[in-house]
Amino acid sequence: MNKTTNGWFSGMLGVLVFSGSLPATRLAVMDFHPLFLTVCRAAIAGVLAGVLLLIFKQQRPIKSDIVPLLVIALCVVVGFPLLTALALQYVTASHAIIYVGLLPLATAIFGVWRGGERPRPIFWILSVLGSSLVVGFALTNGAASSLIGDGLMLASIIACGYGYAEGARLSRRLGGWQVISWALILSLPVMALLSFYYRPDSWSSTSVTSLLSLAYVSLFSMLIGFVFWYRGLALGGIAAVGQLQLLQPFFGLVLSALLLHETIGWPIFIVNMGVVLCVALARRFAAKH
């Protein structure tokens, strides 16, 4: 398996992990306040990341890495989880998931800016087409919208796209799991204190489902998914591998239907075929011209 293929395979694993994030968050905010959920998941993942760094005796980041790591922490450790958790108080998970269809385009734009990548013009056409298919599906799917919820989701996509591009750039030198681990470590003191401050008054009424959802977003969404995702972006290219996120809304919608009993119709599978085609062609034309 060559470097590019390895990157796409790793990226797909990351997408599969992230696909469960919004449904799990939707379940978790039924019992947990969005602020507590955001800081607690980061604190739990930060402790686990610290253990991994100690076990594998990883060298510390150099001085010039600190600012990028803080940006990554602000964008993907705090920004995206908090904004989506707040948004899910106003919109359904199936509606929020559609916004992920804009994430590949945002990641590609930031990849050009921060990663120095220069995809061919046809790549941008395919990226916009794929994003349009996903968003168009959302608009015709009848999902309930909310001005506040939609605004929060749009802000989360901008933050996440920038965090992905910055993390992928740094992963080329530090390694994928090391980048997210150090970002979590840097944010751990604040996240731990805020977790204690925003802790629930009582855990007796917290459902097992909410606890399992908290465990998922802490372990998988906040740590394991990034191990695969940053590695995939670093090996396969930020703009190219980022297009795999076009598939995430559809995986997420299926999970929403299974876990949250939110209704999806047969058109999703037709649109998904178009998205898969866009992803396949985008991979071919992502290289510099």
Closest listed residue to residue 75, CA positions, set 148, 174, 179 = 179
What pLDDT does 193 receive? 97
* Rounded Cα distance, 56 and 231, in Å: 17
Q: Is the dihedral of CA 88, 90, 96, 99 positive or negative?
A: negative
> Domain residue spans in the chain?
3-198+208-284
List the chain residues with pLDDT less than 50.
289
CA distances from 146 to 152, 175, 275 (A): 10, 39, 26
Helical axes 267-284 vs 121-140, angle rounded to 10°: 170
Q: What is the pLDDT of residues 153-183, one digit of tens each?
A: 989 999 999 999 999 889 888 888 899 999 9
* Rounded Cα distance, 49 and 55, in Å: 10
CA angle 78/82/190 to nearest 5° reads: 40
* Rounded Cα distance, 179 and 173, in Å: 9
What pLDDT does 289 receive? 45
Q: Is the dihedral of CA 54, 51, 9, 233 positive or negative?
A: negative
* Residue listed under structure tokens 């309930």: 144
Q: Cβ contacts of residue 42 below 8 Å, gap of 6+? A: 77, 78, 81, 184, 187, 188, 191, 222
What is the overall mean pLDDT for the chain? 87
What pLDDT does 176 receive? 82
